[in-house]
Amino acid sequence: MIIFKKIVEFKNYLRKLKNKKKKIGFIPTMGALHDGHFSLISRSISENDLSIISIFINPTQFNNQNDLFSYPSDLKKDINSLKIISENLILFNPSSEEIYSGNIVSNVFSFGGLDKYMEGKFRKNHFQGVATILQKLFDLVKPDNVYFGEKDFQQLRIVEYFVSNLGFNLNIIRCKTIRTDDGLALSSRNKKLDISSQKIATNLFKALNFVKENFDTLNFEKIYNKVRHFLSEFSEIKIEYFIIADEKDLKPIKTKDKNKKYRAFIAADVSGVRLIDNIKLY
C-alpha cells in the first residue's frame, strides 16, 4: 500500500495514473475505520481499477472544538486494516497544515435549501466545511466514482447536489448503512461508548424501525409521540431531532404524498456521544 502525506507527491503519482487511463474509485473518510468504511472500500475495489482512501479529520466541518479534539483516531490500526483488505490501496493522509496552509476556513456554497434542517440546523456551517474539503479532494484526486454511506444521508444528498451544481465529472455511489447485529449503525463515534451505552444506543434503530413498521397505518402525531415516549424511557438518550422528511429535498413533512419517498432521521446524545441514524420508509 502506498501512503501519501504531501499533496505534491500525491499529485505526481496521480498524473502518471491518469496517463494510464485507470478508473479511480475514491472513499473520503475521517479514519477510525470500521466495517461501514470497509463496505465502501470493498465496493470501490470491485468497481474500479484502483481505489484511493483519504483519512483526514477535517477541522472546518466541526462546529465544536472539543468534538474535533476528541474525535477517535487510530492511524496505525487503520493502516493495518487497509493492508489486510488489499496491498493495492492508496492512502492519502495529509496534515491540516498541508490542506489549509494555516487558513482553516470554509468556502461558501449554496445547497439549494438541503442544509436548512437536521445536521445543517444543529451543526452550524458543518456542510460548508464538508463541501470545502470535498472540493479540494475531488480537484486533487479527480476520481471517476466516489463512495458515500447512506448512514449520513443528508450529507449524501448535499454532496449529490454540490457535485452536479459545480459540474464535477464524477459519479456519487450510494452505499447502504452497515449495522451491528442488534441494529446500531456503525460509526467511528461508537468507539467513545462503553458496552452498556452501545446497547442503549441500539434503541435509536428500534425507534426508527418502529416508524418504518407503522408508517402506513399510524398518523404523524402518533408516530412522533410514540418515538419520543419510547426513547424518553432511557435517561442516557437525549433526542436532538427526530424528523420524517422527503428523501429528495429533505423537507420535514406532516402529511404523506403516495408518490414521494420518505425517510425518518434521528440525532441524539447517548451517554454524551452524539449519534445520527436514518431509515428509509418505503
By the criterion CB under 6 A, which residues form the site for ligand AMP? 29-30, 36-37, 39-40, 148-149, 151-152, 175, 177-178, 185-188
- Give the nearest distance from C-beta 174 to ligand AMP in angstroms: 9
- What φ, ψ does residue 14 adopt, rounded to 5°? -65, -35
Q: Which is nearer to ligand AMP, 14 or 33 (by Cβ)?
A: 33
User: Residue 69, CB half-sphere, CA atoms under 13 Å: how many?
Assistant: 3
Whole-Å CA distances, 136 to 51, 139, 140, 207, 255: 18, 5, 6, 37, 40
- Give the nearest distance from C-beta 150 to ligand AMP in angstroms: 7
* CA gap 160, 100 in Å, rounded: 24
Q: Which is nearer to ligand AMP, 40 or 200 (by Cβ)?
A: 40
Catalytic annotation, pick one of 34, 37, 126, 229: 37
Q: Which residue's Cβ has the minimum distance to ligand AMP?
A: 149
Q: Which is nearer to ligand AMP, 26 or 242 (by Cβ)?
A: 26
- Cell numbers linked to 171: 459519479
Question: Which single residue is written with the C-alpha cell 502506498?
Answer: 2
- Give the nearest distance from C-beta 193 to ligand AMP in angstroms: 14
- Give the nearest distance from C-beta 80 to ligand AMP in angstroms: 17
Known catalytic membership, residue 37: yes
User: Residue 152, CB half-sphere, CA atoms under 13 Å: how many?
Assistant: 20
Q: Which is nearer to ligand AMP, 155 or 271 (by Cβ)?
A: 155
Length of the chain: 282
User: Among 255, 278, 254, 281, which Cα is nearest to 266's?
Assistant: 278
Active-site residues: which are they? Answer: 37
